[in-house]
Amino acid sequence: MTSSSAASPRTPSNIARRTIASLLSWLRVSDTTAAPEEPEKLSRLLRDWYTRFQAIERLSAVGLEQPAKELIVSAVASLLAAKTQWPALASRCDPAFAELGLGADITAEGQRDALDAWAEKLASPRKAAFVIERALRPMRLSMLPWWQRRALQAYRTLAALCVVASVLAMGWYFFGPREVATASASWGILYPPWAVTDRDLDSNWVLPDGALGWIELTIPSRTLRSMRMWNVQKEPNYATARIAIEVFDGDRLVHTEEQDISATAHARSSFHWVPRTPFPATRVRIHVRAFLGLGGGFSQIQVNP
């Protein structure tokens, strides 16, 4: 059987237009077609279709393809008979039927034989049912009671906002501005300065054995409210014991102080440094003044603007 109308080409612009239209319809929970006559009867028909659609999905899921084919044939026959009564339904069904290879030339007399022949060639009744459900869903949902439509619309809007917020949060986490770390020296290429900003406690910046030095971080936000530091996790023979913190605004030193962090040695705990007042700052330099064992360093340094 031939299709009654040629399907639109699957170009990127058509795919994008169809995706955006489907998303907007999904959020609106409404249909753009005119209100049909006898809405209660049509609503009952659409509910019956949805019940059959769910049954087809369940039958296909457990491998009962033949009963699923028989069910979709009876469902399509009901829709073919009903769309002659409701033009709004026909405008929804015809494109889906054309996509499935059901032409408009099916007559009432030969309908059953034509549908049986179509079902025999059908590879997946589940996919065919989904094509029809995708076409009928906007009309079916738009005929729900108003309070159900509003509840569904609120739920879908909330779900869309949660997805957008999650994507933005992940984008900020992985691609947002980060501190740029430099150091006076490092214990080889396996322990570079940028290891303190990669949010991984198993990576470390380590000074050469027996050496004192510093690590410096730029501050994109230009404000320093607090800082959290995790001691080096390289081996039991490495740990920072005492540090000096220098805060710079450009080339101007705005604050300096020393802290003993030996309590965080050889533990995955952190030292949280909170100044009395936030500082305008472009960079912070942390000097390793003393260490335990062979040398000092840090696993992570988190600047809180």
- Where is the domain boundary, 144, 173, 201? 144
In a domain, residue 6? The reply is no
Residues counted in the chain = 305
- Residue 297, pLDDT score: 92
Domain co-membership, 231 together with 132: no
Does the pTM surpass 0.85? The reply is no
* Residue 245 pLDDT: 94
Supply the pLDDT for residue 109.
57
- Among 305, 239, 303, which residue's Cα sits nearest to residue 269? 239
Residues 185 and 297 in one domain: yes
For range 214-223, the mean pLDDT: 84
Domain total of the chain: 2
| H, E, C per residue of the chain | CCCCCCCCCCCHHHHHHHHHHHHHHHHHCCCCCCCCCCHHHHHHHHHHHHHHHHHHHHHHHCCCHHHHHHHHHHHHHHHHHHCCCCHHHHHHHHHHHHHCCCCCCCCCCCHHHHHHHHHHHCCCHHHHHHHHHHHHHHHHHHCCCHHHHHHHHHHHHHHHHHHHHHHHHHHHHHHCCCCCEEECCCCCCCCCHHHHHCCCCCCCEECCCCCCEEEEEECCCCEECEEEEEECCCCCCEEEEEEEEEEEECCEEEEEEEEECHHHCCCCCEEEECCCCCEECCEEEEEEEEEEECECEEEEEEEEC
Q: Give mean pLDDT, residues 60-71.
A: 91
Residue 159 domain-assigned (yes or no): no
Q: Hey, what are 248's tokens?
A: 């710079």
Distance CA 247, CA 261 (A): 18
- Decide which of 91, 117, 144 is a domain's last residue: 144
235 and 289 co-located in one domain: yes
pLDDT class of 172 with cuts at 50, 70, 90: confident
- Convert the pLDDT of each residue in 244-263 to its tens digit: 999 998 889 999 999 999 88
Distance (Å, rounded) from C-alpha 263 to C-alpha 28?
57
Range of the domain at 84: 12-144
What's the half-sphere exposure (Cβ side, CA atoms, 13 Å) at 252? 5
Q: Is the same domain home to 100 and 197? A: no
Phi-psi region of 259 (alpha: psi -120 to 50; beta: other; left: phi over 0): beta
Residues 116-139 have a mean pLDDT of: 87
